[in-house]
Amino acid sequence: MASTLHIHELYVQRGEGSQAYGVYLPELDLREGQIIAVTGESGCGKSTLLECLGLLLAPGRVGAFTLGRTGIDIKALLASGNQSALAAIRARHLGFMLQTGGLLPYLTVQENILLPRKLLGLSGQGASYAPTLSALDLAPLLKKRPSMLSIGERQRVAFARALAHEPQVILADEPTASLDPVRAQKLFELFTHLVEKTGISAVVVSHDWELVQRFGLECMHAQVNPNETCFTLRTTLDLS
């Protein structure tokens, strides 16, 4: 399988002086159709790592950083400070799914889902639109606004929106945090099914370690050291 995200020796620092804290990722090679979970205790730097992967936060140093099947050289763009190019890549090739859903309250469900395509100037609804609506059971909700939806429904809409412009990588920050265990498992099932079916890749930050283990996901687990967290890849999450 082709690699959609390759990173080597990424380091980012928050704060200065005695308050400085680093987040370190030695290696990541994300393949098409693969989901990797980022796990660790609260405050260890999971969201900081996701911001770096999502080109929202520039690392202090990085040995290699390429994105997409064509190997876009993100390291070179970061070094040149080309913010417009980075923003364009972020909008076209990445899909974001936030804890709260992040839906715009004045748009309908359908308008929220198709917004990324509209902003990119993409025509039509895209090949994944109908299958995604069917898998997530969203057709009855299309004319509703977010205020009329349950938390679980909002999360399903947020997932559909993250897929709408057919990105190469989805970055999800605690997508099941506000759901009860039954709905969390259902969303995770839909998430893994659609990621594998569409051939995209996903990085999911999650506190739900049992759910991650149940689905047998590979994990980047946080090893917390003095003044630094190191995220290392494990085949499965060991809860013992």
Residue 232's alpha-carbon distances to 77, 83, 146, 224, in angstroms, are 25, 29, 37, 11
Identify the weakest region by mean pLDDT among 29-38, 109-118, 157-166, 191-200.
191-200
Tell me, yes or no, whether 118 lies in a domain. yes
pLDDT on residue 240: 45
pLDDT on residue 188: 82
23 pLDDT above the threshold of 50:
yes
Report, in angstroms and rounded to the nearest whole number, the Rg of the chain calculated over CA atoms. Answer: 18
From the list 185, 237, 171, the residue with the least C-alpha distance to 209 is 237
79 pLDDT above the threshold of 50:
yes
Tell me, yes or no, whether 230 lies in a domain. yes
- pLDDT tens readout for residues 120-136: 999 888 877 888 888 88
Distance (Å, rounded) from C-alpha 108 to C-alpha 146? Answer: 7
Tell me, yes or no, whether 24 lies in a domain. yes
Domain span at residue 18 reads 3-234
Tell me, yes or no, whether 240 lies in a domain. no
Tell me, yes or no, whether 60 lies in a domain. yes
Work out how many domains the chain is built from and give that number. 1
Show Cβ contacts of residue 204 under 8 Å, excluding neighbours closer than 6 positions.
Answer: 35, 36, 37, 38, 172, 175, 191, 217
Distance (Å, rounded) from C-alpha 31 to C-alpha 69? Answer: 10
Res. 107 pLDDT band, cuts 50 70 90: very high
- CATH for 137: 3.40.50.300
pLDDT on residue 114: 95
Distance (Å, rounded) from C-alpha 119 to C-alpha 159? Answer: 17
pLDDT on residue 65: 97
